[in-house]
Amino acid sequence: MTIPQNEAGAVLTIDLAALAANYRTIVAMGGGVPVAAVVKADAYGLGIERVGPALAGAGCTTFFVAHLSEARRLRAAVPDATIYVLNGLFGAALDTYLAHDIRPVLGSREDVETFAEFCNGLGRRLPAAIHVDTGMNRLGLDLAEAALLAEPGTAALAFTPALIMSHLACADEPGHPLTARQIDRFQQIRGLFPGIPSSLANSAGCTLPAARHDLMRPGIALYGARFVTGRDPLAPVVRLDAPIVQVRGIRAGDTVGYGAAWTAGRSSRIAVVSVGYADGYIRQAGSTDRKTGAPMRVNGVICQPAGRVSMDLLAIDVTDAGPVSAGDTATLIGDGVGVDDVAEAAGTIGYEILTSLGKRYHRRYTG
């Protein structure tokens, strides 16, 4: 459902041209290695039905989602794409993979056996990816299971292995020793499955030539958030602007918000916007007497929250922002304030900020 702008607490602008430009930047980075796109979690909260076609228009032909329901939505938006479901098989929904030409990522021995049995029943070798764990210890076959699966003539290969993949755990931290170990382990696994394309590089892995292999699959980098520690993100994709609904003056010593957690140190002006943690502007981004909150801009001036973020409201200290009135705009993300700036103030990561952005905004797509 699209919320009319005059009924919404804020406007979330999603720049599809910047998204496409980020995809092309990663393509150039890879030196000819094909680049897929991870669009799980509703394209990191930005809308899979709009993000998918925008990336397809930039040349993307392969996509990864987490849930089968996401794959069905994406198939309707990009009819000709190759689509993988990262989280494996979904119970009795095997017919959905066949009906919508969707490929599971098989991450356990049980997944492999179930899908092989399904293909045997059909008399068809459907394509699937095989996920092998190299150190994340989350999803994936262990190395011994992968070696058994690779043995010639194994009955489990009643399906067609279309991709061998694993996932890097620490590539966003340059020099972390686990990354080199994972790259070495994955190289061994690739040798077990000659001739089958392989994929290891997530967003951070795209910066590592030894991790690129046959298919890179960036996620967070596409959406303009930081993907390697100490490295600038690519072009910003989102901005969040909220109209100010009220401005009030308070005296030195007055407190603002729940818990009286923020105290004015001087006579101050407080602007209130209709955005809160129910909209994904998470509670930890607020300010207290002991903690500075997330930056935001009013009249081009960096301001701070005044007090805790409420469910539906956020107070901002605009004392130094010049004349401010109801109807003016506070920019919560944009104009130099990135999702990572909000995340850092909230003690979290850009992924959580992006994927939390709520459904009560008026969403405006540009580009």
- Residue positions annotated with a catalytic role: 40, 258
Q: Which amino acid is at 4?
A: P
Tokens of 264: 């004015």
**Residue 173 Cα distances to 167, 176, 213, 228, angstroms:** 14, 6, 20, 6
Q: Which of 363, 358, 250 is nearest to 306 (CA)?
A: 250
Tokens of 24: 């092309």
Q: How far is it, in rounded angstroms, from Cα 231 to Cα 300? A: 25
Q: How far is it, in rounded angstroms, from Cα 291 to Cα 81? A: 47
Query: In sequence order, which residues have a C-beta less than 8 Å from that of residue 267 and are 6 or more positions away?
Result: 249, 250, 251, 252, 319
Provide the 8-state DSSP code for 305: E
Q: How far is it, in rounded angstroms, from Cα 364 to Cα 246? A: 24
Q: Is 315 helix (H, G, I), strand (E, B) or coil?
A: strand
Q: How far is it, in rounded angstroms, from Cα 232 to Cα 240? A: 20
Tokens of 189: 């696994």
H helices of 169-317, in order, are 177-192, 209-212
Q: How far is it, in rounded angstroms, from Cα 319 to Cα 351? A: 31
Q: Is 246 helix (H, G, I), strand (E, B) or coil?
A: strand
Q: Are 11 and 362 a contacting pair, CB within 8 Å?
A: yes
The gap from C-alpha 166 to its chain's centroid, in whole angstroms, comes to 18
Query: In sequence order, which residues have a C-beta less than 8 Å from that of residue 153 and are 6 or more positions away?
Result: none
Q: How far is it, in rounded angstroms, from Cα 227 to Cα 247? A: 37
